[in-house]
Structure 1
């Protein structure tokens, strides 16, 4: 059986990751986290562990650092947990304030103290993977390489990756980096299916409207870069959430997902994730919910990815596209 790139590298065999953006309360800078927020984090982590999720995705900006802080509180309470999980975090986004707009910063001067902040909030000596959080137009690979080298030598970061980057941007960075880029995190789901459409639309007029980077899926598979999907549950649009602006394609696809879930005696969440995970790239979905019930509803995703037929996969895709294959 084909394995995930992260497993090939000996980093993680967790087919699902838990996204921790919803931890820590509000994004209000003046509000602090509470004991209830810590309990919420404990419940989410417990639910994730119970279904085999050992990979946890953070970013230094999530609820302005509070997501990492409450996760760190859980690690303090469960001292042996750290050695059994993989923690990933991201740097590079600076949020807007009264004086300046939101912006990106991949400078060595920003990366190094940002990682120190991550480690302090999490209460850990290292993180397993550090991602650059979205492309910075002013990024200088040599400067980034110096930061990464220092972080690796100090033992603060073990592996490095990126998010939302094109093949050209990845190659531009990799040329200078001493270690391989092991992850690229992208928005991918049954709703956000342009990553599939781009390949289908080769030599088609419909391809003129495609926005997905040329050759990205193929390049990451050839280079054994783990594709991580953020937003894989599509905000619940196909698993029970009712939205006023739902398209006809979304309504029909939601009904089809429910039908397949009933036929396979599973949950809509497992079908939606299973569709994504069936792709040969061995995509690792980063589920964004911290609701224990919804986390548990993802339990059967791996099995559904293995059981899903080509016919079912294409039927879901065509339904979500709202148009037939070319």
Structure 2
């Protein structure tokens, strides 16, 4: 699979990341087959979080991949921490204990990337910095990033954190694309001009932070997928038209739309269906024309000013 550099790091990563949030819906045999299919596609980047399945997803993955030192060398593992029941927690103690739990469940000595999951209103940047330093010095984490953070939240962390922020995982899809469409509406008096994210897309591009779109097929927060959904007839007709032109599925086109953006994003899949996984990975070999990219965007009802 085609690769990109993750942020400013020297880490080459596949352009499609495999999200493991739902791997606990599979039995052992299914999980083994799913992971094997991912690796066959060249998709060796697996995204986790300590809250997925209450930690079970990491355990299931480690068993499914038959984790060993030789297997570990073939994998790029990312996990997230910072969410507790009823609160967010970026304290030094919580970050350190979370990583120890993640490593134990994944049966590995280190993470390639650790992301802070959702912004903690009580964050103390010095505590985050202390945790990152300890984790890096101990060899437990090699690269660091964030998830769902605005430019100013990242800048606040960078007051104390010396490690580069290599990734920011953000909700983004064809139908959840305000971070893209807001850029069309500078100085306009319409709802699309509202700054909801502090210009996070441009910020990440300026600072070489890789955007990792999560829920790339969802509309709303978790209201459902837009593909083959009767709520989006014009959009699906356009996606199907472009898919036929390239000889691929609509799933492939939905991921290819994100990959076409010059920010060099790394979408995170969520499917546990092997064929859809393969279709997602095929997007690495599809480049949409400017006309098709804009045609799909306009089919969502987006208006150019």
TM-score normalized by the length of structure 1: 0.87
Give a deviation string over 1:105-134, Cα, whole Å, max 9, x none. Answer: 000111111110000000000000000001
- 1:324 and 2:292 correspond: no
Partner of 1:280: 262
Partner of 2:214: 230
Larger CA deviation: 103-112 vs 6-15: 6-15
Partner of 1:99: none
Alpha-carbon separation, structure 1, partners of 2:282 and 2:192: 37
Partner of 2:80: 90
Residue 39 of structure 1: how far off its partner (Å): 2.2
Contact kept in structure 1, 2:213 and 2:268, CA below 8 Å: yes
Partner of 1:302: 284
Give a deviation string over 1:252-300, Cα, whole Å, max 9, x none. Answer: 1011111211121111111111111111100100001111121012232
Larger CA deviation: 150-159 vs 214-223: 214-223
Give a deviation string over 1:16-70, Cα, whole Å, max 9, x none. Answer: 0000000124xxxxxxxxxx62322212211211222111000000010000001
Structure 2, unmatched stretches of 5+, are none
Larger CA deviation: 206-215 vs 129-138: 206-215
Partner of 1:171: 155
Partner of 1:239: 227
SS at match of 1:284: coil
Contact kept in structure 2, 1:198 and 1:207, CA below 8 Å: no
SS at match of 1:84: coil
Residue 209 of structure 1: how far off its partner (Å): 5.8
- 1:315 and 2:295 correspond: yes
SS at match of 2:281: coil
Alpha-carbon separation, structure 2, partners of 1:200 and 1:136: 31
Tell me: CA distance 1:194–1:143, structure 2 relative to 1, closer, same or farther (3 Å).
same
SS at match of 1:149: helix
Residue 79 of structure 1: how far off its partner (Å): 5.2
Pairs within 5 Å for 1:244-263: 246=231, 250-263=232-245
Partner of 2:134: 150
Partner of 1:159: 143
Contact kept in structure 2, 1:17 and 1:55, CA below 8 Å: yes
TM-score normalized by the length of structure 2: 0.93
Contact kept in structure 1, 2:78 and 2:112, CA below 8 Å: yes
Partner of 1:55: 45
Alpha-carbon separation, structure 2, partners of 1:317 and 1:145: 40
SS at match of 2:142: strand
Partner of 1:106: 90
Alpha-carbon separation, structure 1, partners of 2:243 and 2:6: 29
Give a deviation string over 1:218-256, Cα, whole Å, max 9, x none. Answer: 22112111110001122773433x46xx2xxx2210111
Contact kept in structure 2, 1:3 and 1:282, CA below 8 Å: no
